[in-house]
Structure 1
Amino acid sequence: MSLFYERLDRAWNTSRSLVSIGLDPDPSRMPLSDVYEFNRRIVDETFDVVCAYKPNLAFYEALGIPGLKGLDKTLEYIRGKTSDVLLIGDGKRGDIGNSSASYARALFDMWGFDAVTVNAYGGQDSIEPFLQYHDKGVYVWCRSSNPGAKDFQDAVVDDDKGMVRLYELIARKLDQWNTNQNLGLVVGATYPQDLGCLREEYPGMPFLIPGVGAQEGDLKSVVRSGVNKFGRGAIINSSRSVIYASSGKDFAQAARRQALAMNREITNELESKGKGWP
């Protein structure tokens, strides 16, 4: 097993959770003006019930230098709090090889993320610089959770095994390129049938599954379709429905209640299939 896949297993088994929280600060919804303080309070209330935190970099970049400083302090705080929770930099970076190499250095060497999301539209050489970090995870945007996913991802293309949809071709190529065993797929919760087909086709590939909560992906369907035969293999992310569960002073406590409820529902579904935690 690769270093990253071992790291994933440790995160799941230590936390006894498949839950990830997206730390996506939106000033129009935050009850605090300070990004770091907002994140810190949520982390304090939830770090023991999640396997990962996934900051979407767009929300920090949109706030300029203060936002980036808030992200830096947040990551430092989480690392000081626990070494078991994964930090996933959700940037969906992707470019020609030379530019991707700089993106990889920025996300892994400078920010120190354990895993990142990338876009493979540029082909193998556009993600290869990320894959060279053998101890880091690389989740490739495959089947996105938004309504417009069908505009391109459902396009039928000719592969050496016949006609397939574009997202299926992406998954197939990624499986072939996964020689370092540090690749994963981003597959939206809003397409449970496609999620299930991908899981059946790639039983050993880790999935990052967004779209539960505000995007109305069904959690039980995600668990049934997205986990592997051992009841692992998936990080299930929720952002807005957790961090904005309350707009009042109890926002952090409300986030904990939401994360606990999500974890409980996942665990119940796993146990009903004989795949619960040891």
Structure 2
Amino acid sequence: MTSQELFENIKKKGSFLCVGLDTDINKIPRFLLETTDPLFAFNKEIIDATHKYTVAYKPNLAFYESMGVSGWNSLEKTVNYIRYNYPDIFIIADAKRGDIGNTSNMYAKAFFDTMDFDSVTVAPYMGEDSVKPFMTYVDKWVILLALTSNKGAADFQYVTENNEKLFEKVIRKSKQWGTEDNLMYVVGATKSEKLKEIRDIIPDHFLLVPGVGAQGGSLKEVAQNGLNKKCGLLVNSSRGIIYASAENDFAEKAGLAAREIQQEMNKLLVDKGLV
């Protein structure tokens, strides 16, 4: 999927929402535990209820890997279900991989060939040769960690040398490795005040922005500081949507939560003249 194709879907749906499938076996409705595959049963209902309002899904792999083989099976079934039923949806493997070249090659094969994700989150710490193997795939994306929302981000990401913060150096250096059609960046919503500075460095790239909703990030501030001529944003919400209810109406409530965010996004896109 190219950036233009992603933008066309954003315009069609009036949404730049990404729904995070952080599916925790301890948080899903109890009655689903009686099914043969509780994680997939939950995901399927969430996807069917929210697909009209979102342009991307982002399974967080930790929630599936923690379940062993059954979790990987649930993940594979989830990706296949989206692919077959809603092929216009962009699918992100929130895996945060990144290792020496031959290992990254295998990670890329796992997520792009075996699992058929559109993109994978990658950590930049080991440099270019740990990232480039993911970029050898046509119409697939690297989503590089740039500025995260967690408290520990201050330990390294804001370290300054020659008036340049480390996260800024990561972005300036890494943008040479790819293009606007295969490289996105993670920028936490709780750091929305930094989006203008980041847009000065990468005005045209897409940004994946987690942290809206349960983590306290402001969608309006993210849009004001981060929207570009192709929208350029995928704003993720996980817990606020998928755990909107723990009862039998969990899917219905998830759909309502997703629609509420989509309606706000649509207004922001209209105000920007993008739809």
Corresponding residue for 1:90? Answer: 94
Q: RMSD in angstroms over aligned alpha carbons?
A: 1.4
Aligned to 1:243: 242
Deviation at 1:201, TM superposition (A): 2.6
Q: Distance in 2 between matches of 1:133 and 1:127?
A: 12
Q: Which residue of 1 aligns with 2:57?
A: 53
Structure 2 equivalent of residue 227 of structure 1: 227
> How far apart, CA to CA, are the structure 1 residues paired with 2:136 and 2:79?
23
Contact 2:92/2:118, CA 8 A, preserved across alignment:
yes
Q: Give the distance between the partners of 2:65 and 2:153, measured in 1 at CA.
A: 24
Q: Percent identity?
A: 43
> Secondary structure of 1:255's match?
helix
Shift of 1:48: 1.2
Give the distance between the partners of 1:191 and 1:141, measured in 2 at CA: 13
**Residue number in structure 2 paired with 1:69:** 73
Alpha-carbon separation, structure 1, partners of 2:180 and 2:236: 25
Q: Which runs of 5+ in 1 are unaligned?
A: none
Q: 1:259: Cα distance to partner?
A: 0.6
1:59-138 equivalent positions in 2, closer than 5 A = 59-138=63-142
Query: Contact 1:131 / 1:180 at 8 angstroms: preserved in 2?
Result: no
Query: Is structure 2 residue 205 aligned with structure 1 residue 205?
Result: yes
Counterpart of 1:75 in structure 2: which amino acid?
A: V
- Partner deviation per Cα, 1:188-227 (whole Å, 9 max, x = no partner): 0010111221123311111111111111111111111121
Letter in 2 for 1:148: G
**Deviation larger for 217-226 or 173-182:** 173-182
C-alpha contact 1:4 1:137 (8 A) present in aligned 2:
no
CA distance in 2 between counterparts of 1:148 and 1:84 reads 35
Q: Cα–Cα, structure 1 residues 229 and 9, in superposed 2: closer, same or farther, change >3 Å?
A: closer
Q: 2: CA distance between counterparts of 1:266 and 1:194?
A: 20
Could you report, residue by residue, the CA deviation over 1:72-121 in whole angstroms, capped at 9, with x for unpaired residues? 11111111111111111110100011111110110100110011110110
Kindly tell me: are residues 177 and 197 of structure 1, through their superposed partners in 2, closer, same or farther at Cα, counting changes over 3 Å? Answer: same
1:218 to 2:209 alignment? no
Residue 195 of structure 2 corresponds to which residue in structure 1? Answer: 195
SS at match of 1:48: helix
The DSSP-based 3-state class of the residue aligned with 2:143 is strand
Structure 1 residues 261 and 179 mapped into 2: Cα distance closer, same or farther (>3 Å)?
A: closer
Partner SS, residue 170 of structure 2: helix
Contact 1:4 1:134 in 2 (8 A): no
What's 2:259 paired with? 260
Q: Aligned letter for 1:186?
A: V
| Contact 2:118/2:140, CA 8 A, preserved across alignment | yes
Q: CA deviation at 1:269?
A: 2.4
TM-score normalized by structure 2? 0.94
| 2:101/2:130 contact within 8 Å kept | yes
Equivalent residue letter for 1:236: V
Partners of 2:229 and 2:274 within 8 A in 1: no
Cα distance change, pair 53–108 in 1 and its aligned pair in 2 (3 A): same
Alignment of 1:15 with 2:13, yes or no, is yes
- Between the aligned partners of 2:12 and 2:266, the Cα distance in structure 1 is 14
- Count how many residue pairs are aligned between Structure 1 and Structure 2: 269
**TM-score, with normalisation over the residues of structure 1?**
0.93
Amino acid aligned to 1:184 = M
Q: Could you tell me which runs of 5 or more consecutive residues in structure 2 were left unpaired when the two chains were aligned.
A: none
Whether contact under 8 Å (1:14, 1:84) holds in the other structure is no
- Number of the residue aligned with 1:171: 171
Counterpart of 2:221, as a letter, is S
Q: What CA distance in whole angstroms lies between the structure 1 residues aligned with 2:73 and 2:153?
A: 33
